[in-house]
Amino acid sequence: MFRENCLRNAILPVTLPEEAHAHLSAAVAAADGKAEFQVDLTAQRITGPHGFMLAFDIAPVKRIALLEGLDDIALTPRSDAAIAAYEAT
C-alpha cells in the first residue's frame, strides 16, 4: 500500500536487496554528507562518489508514469487496443 501511494504521489520508492542496501549505506556513511548521490529513473540507477553505482528495478508502466507525470487515468488511453480486444471477446 505504501509503495502504491508513493507512486501515485510522484515519489519513487526503491526497494533494495539487503546486500545492496548495505552497500548504499556504506557509501552514504563514507561520503560524510559531503557528496551528492543521484537517482536516475531513466537509467534505473543510483550513482554517487568514488564510482558508486547501484541499479534498481521498477515496473515499466510505473516508470513511464513517473517520467511523464501520468496518473492512472492518463495511462488508460494507452491500453485502448487491449481494452477493445477484451470487449470484443
As a whole number, mean pLDDT of residues 68-87 equals 85
Give me the pLDDT at residue 2, please. 92
Class of residue 57 by CB neighbours under 10 A (exposed 0-12, middle 13-18, buried 19+) = exposed
Question: d(Cα 72, Cα 9) in Å, to the nearest integer?
Answer: 11
Report helix, strand or coil for 38.
strand
Does residue 49 or residue 63 have the better pLDDT? 63
Q: Rounded mean pLDDT of the chain? A: 87
Residue 18: the pLDDT is 92
Summarised one tens digit per residue, pLDDT across range 28-58 is: 888 887 888 899 999 999 988 878 888 999 9
pTM for the full model? 0.70
